[in-house]
Structure formats: C-alpha cells, structure tokens
Chains A and B, each alone.
Chain A
C-alpha cells in the first residue's frame, strides 16, 4: 500500500512537500524584524513572513503559518530560497517558482496554499515602505535601483508582470 501512495500514484503530495512538511526550515517569528506581512486569504490559512535586512540583503527570513501540509511546505521552501538573497532577487521569487521547487502542487491546492512567496514579497515591501516613511527615499546603490523603493502592490515589475 505504501508503495502505491509513495510512488506518486496518489498525486496529493510530492516527496519534497512531505519532506518540508516534516522538517520545516527557518520557521518562527523574528522579534526585531525589519519587515512583516500577513496574508490570510482563501480558506482560513494564515501566512506571515518576517524579514531581517542588512545591506539590501535578506539576512534572515522567518515565518508563521497556520495551514495544510502544502501551505507549510510552501513557507519552508520560500524561506529557504529567499534567505541570503538580495532584495531584488528575493522579490523575483514567485509562487510559481516555489511550486516548481517543490516538484509541483496538487491542482486543487494551487490558489490557497501557495501564498508564501506573496507574503514574503509583502514583507519586503513593508520594509521598503517603513524605510520610505523614515525619509529614506534614495534608491540603494545597485543595478536594480528602482526595486529598492517601496512599490504599491500592483506596480508592474521589470517584465511588466503585475503581482
């Protein structure tokens, strides 16, 4: 029976989802976070991301999640992908990137379980917004200057995609 369910005849959970669900990476809140965002859409699940930023890099990423196994795995994968990246690169992590990294998601889970990357993006935006409020509107020195400014959610990214 195990071989039936584990070899992928049951399409529910990929081995990677199960692995991240069992051992979620980087879970937990960051008390002195620079940016925080919560997404609670869809089915009652809650995704909350924390970012600690240093020199325009995600020095630390943490999260809290209340949700199904897929939601937990998405948070774990998102945090794993994001930590250590520059803000610009981290903002390029989309839900689709997370899905691919997990080896695919069950179709019925796609829209409500896969919101971790959105929450991360919003947490980075929260940091940029707070920075702007504090009067620091100067783009950081980097090739991706414009990305280091606060962007309301529906401003298109460099490829013209709206989030």
Chain B
C-alpha cells in the first residue's frame, strides 16, 4: 500500500512503540503517588513534558497534556474566554473571538458553542485564493472587547502556512491572547513559540508518528487561562484526570525523534511534494492546485479536478492500493463541499467536489510518486470519459 494520508494520521514510529510498550508493561504507578513506582512514573511524565516543551522551545511548566488536538483547541478557547468572564470588567475585555473561516472544526464548532452558551460574538476572517489570512484583516477585526484570536498555523486540507508572526505582533500590540492550532505543523517544520510570538498552541501526537489520543496545549506564563476539567488537580489543576502515561511518554519520544530528523525529512518531503505537484500539473489537464504554492506544508498536495467527484478518485486509487483523502465526503448525502475549498472563493463550481489531498510521510519514496502520478492520470482520464460537458 502507498499511504498518502499522513495529515489524517501517521503510523506509530517503531521507537515510540517500543518505549510505550515498556511503560505499559513496567510502569503502572500513578504519577500522583509518592512511593517509588509513583515517583518513577512522575519522572517519566516530567521527562516527556520537557521533551515536548523542547520541540516548540517552551518551558516545561507551560505544557498541559491533553487527549489530543481537539481537546487542546477546546481548552484553549474555553479556558481563555472563561478566564475573561471570571475577571469580568477588570480587564476591560469581553467575549469577542476572532478566528478564520478555514479552521479545523475543533476551533470552528467550539467558537460556535461559545457563541451559543456564553453569548460570545465570533468574527470569521476570510482568506484569499491561496488560503492566506491577511494580518491587516486581523487588526481591523480587533475590538475593545476582543478576548481571543485563534488562527491555525497551517491548514490541514490545503497545507497553506499562515503569517503567524505578523498576526502575533498585532495581537501583542493590542494585548489580545493569541492561540494557534499547530496540529499540522508541530513535528514537521520548526515551531518556536517565542519566535512566533503566540500565547497558546495546540499540538497532537498522532500527526507526527506519536500515539493517538494524546496531545498538548502550550499556555504561555501570564496568559489569562482558567481550568475547566475539574477533579484530582493533575497538570497543575488545568487538566484533571490520571495521566495517560504510556501515551505521554510516546508523545515525548515522538517529539525527540521529530526534532532529530526534522531538517532532513522536511527537505526530502518538500522535494517529493514538488515532484508530485509537477507531475500532476504536467500530465493531467485541468488539474488545479489548491493552497499556496510555496507557503505550504512540506508534505501536503491538494488538487481539484473538474467534473469528477473526489470520492470516485479516492475509491479508484484505493482499489490500486493508494490511500488518499477526498476534500468532501458525501456521507451525509447532502454533499457539503469542504468549507475550506469554499472559503477560497473563485474556485469554479465544477471543481468544488473534485478535490483530493495527498499528504506524504516517512514511508514514501520517489518511486511512490511516479506510481501515484501514473495511477491518478489514468484514473482521471477514465472518469473524464464518463462525463464530457
């Protein structure tokens, strides 16, 4: 099988699996207890915290382990908004949230819930044809009651990398906390919370060869943030619940490996990505690249084809042992084209349902790229013959 859906999830790195297995077998102690095996567990936990912090150039105290990207996004949004509610007018901030129209649903739907349950107002910023947010739009959207800005570092569908540093300097000037969903970037490209200038950051283990169901939220010291998950007071009270130690240790190991191999792997993937883009553009008439050509994740390729449905491409490739993702899944029957593609604007209607995303990873080779281009070109030709106008 040629696996080209690394943005959906990645296989567990064997070194990660090994340490996890070890912990599962040997370290059942609860990190909150103080006898020997508890202390051992605590040491593993704090070691992993340091490893994850190092990957994003943060302090270990600024890392909260969570159950993944979704929970990190949830805690960031609700934690900051509720903190403002707590402090009331003292801070002079209310309940206005700025985000973008191409966010992951973890941010979009949690923003919508904040509007529904806490009377927040939400501004959804538009993007240009490449999926880029204009920092000037952020500046313009900021109001005296703006509580939080939440923008994704890179988009999971089209791979466009947003101008985070510029937005961060605007947020800082205006004194508004700035959260980024970096689930797609952490472990793949350098992420330095200080260089970027962000206050909160979500990351997820299974997107960079770590385990599923574990992630982290970075919260810069001094950021208004309140705890939501109440209980035993783990994670400095910010996220109660006995820690998922095997998962967290696995996440730490994945962070170390990512850091170790990043430069080489990033360059290798960028080369493969560009070869795939070039091959498709040369061999498939009408193919249209979605997302920015250069401000782009090293492993993301997203193309739309006119008058073909993504799901047909997906199945056609799957039947040849190639796993890709289609932009729109008509599982509901109502066939909602992806909100991201729709937000790009200017994408002609006949392209809206015909997007596929191919995301590369460690297992992919140059040979894979050649195979995929050929398979895709043949398939598109075949499906095109089914519909001529």
Contacts and interface: CB of A to CB of B under 8 A. Distances in A.
Contacts of A42: 333, 335
A-B pairs with lowest CB-CB distance, top 5: A43-B335, A66-B387, A68-B311, A108-B333, A69-B315
A45 B309 contact: yes
Given A27-B386, A65-B386, A21 B312 contact: yes
Contacts of A44: 335, 337, 349, 352-353
Given A21-B315, A69-B316, 7 more contacts: A28-B385, A43-B335, A44-B337, A44-B349, A68-B312, A69-B311, A69-B315
Interface string A43-84: 111100000000000000000111111011000000000000
B360 interface: no
A43 B315 contact: no
A28 B307 CA distance: 15
A37 to B, nearest CB: 15
Contacts of A108: 330-333
A72 B330 contact: no
Main secondary structure of the interface of B (DSSP, over half): loop
B342 to A, nearest CB: 12
Interface residues of A, number: 26
B312 A24 contact: no
Interface in A1-34: 13, 18, 21-22, 24, 27-29
B36 interface: no
A59 B309 CA distance: 30
A132 interface: no
Interface residues of B, number: 23
Interface in B330-389: 330-335, 337, 349, 352-353, 385-389
Contacts of B389: 64
Nearest to A69: B315
Interface string A95-133: 000000000000011111000000000000000000000
Contact of B319 (A18, A28, A45): A18
A92 B352 CA distance: 35
B386 A66 contact: yes
Contacts of B334: 43, 112
Contacts of A21: 312, 315-316
B308 interface: yes
A64 B330 contact: no
B309 A66 contact: yes
Interface in B281-331: 307-309, 311-312, 315-316, 319, 330-331
A108 B331 CA distance: 6
Contacts of A72: 312, 386
B386 A64 contact: yes
A69 B312 contact: yes
A43 B353 CA distance: 9
B316 to A, nearest CB: 8
Given A43-B330, A43-B334, A64 B388 contact: yes
Contacts of A29: 388
Contacts of A67: 309, 312
A112 B335 CA distance: 9
A112 B387 contact: no
B315 A112 contact: no
A64 B387 contact: yes
Nearest to B334: A43
Nearest to A71: B309
A65 B307 CA distance: 9
A68 B334 CA distance: 13
Given A21-B315, A66-B308, A66-B309, A27 B333 contact: no
Given A27-B386, A28-B385, A108-B332, A66 B315 contact: no
A155 B311 CA distance: 36
B308 A112 contact: no
Contacts of A22: 316, 319
Nearest to A112: B333
B385 A43 contact: no
Contacts of A13: 315
Contacts of B316: 21-22, 69
